Structure 1
Amino acid sequence: MSHASQQYAFTEPRTVKRAQVKPSEREHQTSSSAPRVSLAPAADRTLDILEFIASNGQTQAATLARELGIPRSTVYQLLEILERHGLVTRLAEQRAYGIGLKTFELGSAYSRQHRVSQVAHPVLARLVDETGENGHLAVLHGNEIIYVIEERAAHRPPLVSGVGVRLPSHLTATGRAILSALPRNQVRALYPNRQAFTDRTGIGPKSPKELEATLAETQRTGFAEEHGDVTPGFDSYAVAVRDYNDFPIAGLALTFVSGSLRPEQERSLKTKLRLAGTELSRRLGAAGSLT
């Protein structure tokens, strides 16, 4: 079994640093009696819960109630609201809660506790074992992609797609897979003119029109392809991973040495990649075959 180049470990619980105020006193504070005024206790407690999970990783409801001084019934009610809005995710096997996908914009908790990373790791590890090729998962941030998981196959050369690396989305297979599933007006907003296009090897789209043609081909075949656009001598295939809203939440890819696979091997690789993308999409709440 292959192993991820970066593990997502959690540390011991660290209580969110707040002014030590009893819950019954929060509603009655004024600016003269405390550094923070709380006019909405429910919202205040909800943010406390979210910040605690962001700081400590997956956390049980009982721990939240004890550490934050909130009645357990209230904790469950607030967690239900946070889960419904995608801000936290319930981890049934651990009987705990972790950071949800929609907190991506809230900061560094994204890279450490991203739900996609947690769910995708076993799927990607198995895909790499079955194919013997390097694999990775990336998410879109602006018009760049950020690699959040990398799985290296045995006896395969290292790639530039290490965890945390950013690359232009229009040059990568994962980026093209995601872009092809976005609304056209959103793609145009990300790439409005030629100035938005960067270059690495001289290969790849250099204008909105060329990108549109590339994405149309991706939609037609169901796979995004990249042949030396990022690193000469390496090819990649990728599929989009979707969530419960049918939104392309990530790109799942395999990368291999150019010319190293026979046609039947490439077909087999694509089939396994498609199945892995579909499985991951389903695990994230998508219905049906979406990749």
Structure 2
Amino acid sequence: MAILKLLSTIDVPVSASRIRAELELPRSTTYHLLHALVDEGFVVHLPENQTYGLGLAAYSMAQAYSTQQPLVRMVSKELRAIAEMVSGSGHLSRLAGSEVVYLQEVRAPGAMSLVTEKGVRLQAHKTASGRSMMALLPTEEARAIFAFNGEGAGWRAMRERLDAVRTAGYEMENEEVSRGQASFAVAIKDHLGRPAAAVAVTYPISRVAEAHKAEVLHRLQAAAQSAGRKMYGS
């Protein structure tokens, strides 16, 4: 991390000797760390002048952070209000490979603690949030996510479910993640119509009347549409 921090503060690629001197690292340690960072794409080696700079993976992380934080601020207040309507929890998540990673969780007073806390990763196809985003992906991408998680044999049923989610504009689940809890999830679309993130609300099944669910879903869809419009012009 110290190497990445150093490279982020210098405008031009620098030599390994300068990195070693700035950070007071042993020569062998410096090269070992640089090779590992190059292999992972966080640092790029420029052989023509034997220097190192930030790689694509580092820039991708920075871009993801700059996108996520405005989204978190944008949806948190409305997610909290929706969560309080059902004495439950609101969530913001995004796809990360074959998983969903939860960026934000807000809870109504007294709401139970769930597995879907900030920073938690779950298999995308096993969550309402994940499926709401998978439904907006090209079939090949969605199938790759499904197959990566070792579920290739059931793809036909999953494809039909994703088709239904795409048509409905939302996904729901009952006790698939937490016992006694149900969820609605709606994807936030970017300017290309791809899933940028998803908002979801999880609530205790026994405490929310059927007639009340339509209002909850409407608020959640409005929150997703508003975030997409403000963030991406979608």
TM > 0.5 between the two?
Answer: yes
Which structure has greater helix proportion? 2
Highest relative contact order (Cα 8 Å, sep 6+), 1 or 2? Answer: 2
What is the aligned partner in structure 2 of residue 284 from structure 1? Answer: 231
Task: Work out whether residues 191 and 233 of structure 2, in 8 Å CA contact, stay in contact via their aligned partners in 1.
Answer: yes
Residue in 2 that maps onto 1:17: 6
SS in 1 for 2:233: coil
The counterpart of 1:231, out of the listed 173, 178, 197, is: 178
Which residue of the other structure, out of 213, 216, 236, is the alignment partner of 2:163?
216
Q: Which residue of 1 aligns with 2:25?
A: none
Post-superposition offset of 1:226:
1.0
SS of match in other structure, 1:252: strand
Q: Compared with structure 1, are the counterparts of its residues 19 and 167 closer, same or farther at alpha carbon in structure 2 (3 Å cutoff)?
A: closer
Q: Is the 2:86–2:207 contact (alpha carbons within 8 Å) kept by the matching residues of 1?
A: no
Give yes or no for the alignment of 1:196 onto 2:150: yes
Rounded to whole Å, the distance in 2 between the matches of 1:20 and 1:286 is 32
1:179 aligns with 2:134: yes
Percentage of pairs with the same residue: 25
Q: CA deviation at 1:245?
A: 2.6
> How many corresponding residue pairs?
194
Match of 2:30 in 1: none
Q: Equivalent residue of 2:134, what SS? A: helix
- Structure 1 residue corresponding to 2:222, chosen from 268, 275, 283: 275
Tell me, yes or no, if the aligned pair for 1:103 and 1:110 is still in contact at 8 Å. no
Shift of 1:284: 1.1
More strand by share: 2
Does structure 2 conserve the Cα–Cα contact (< 8 Å) formed by 1:237 and 1:255?
yes
Contact between 1:179 and 1:215, CA under 8 Å: does it hold in 2?
Answer: yes
> Cα distance 1:278–1:210, how it changes in 2: closer, same or farther (>3 A)?
same
Aligned partner of 2:113 among 158, 162, 170 = 158
Match of 1:125 in 2: 80
> Structure 1: 5+ residue runs without aligned partners?
1-15, 37-86, 88-101, 198-204
d(CA) in 2 for partners of 1:104, 1:167: 25
For structure 2, list consecutive stretches of 5 or more residues without a partner in the other structure: 20-55
TM-score by length of 1: 0.57
Give the structure-2-normalised TM-score: 0.70
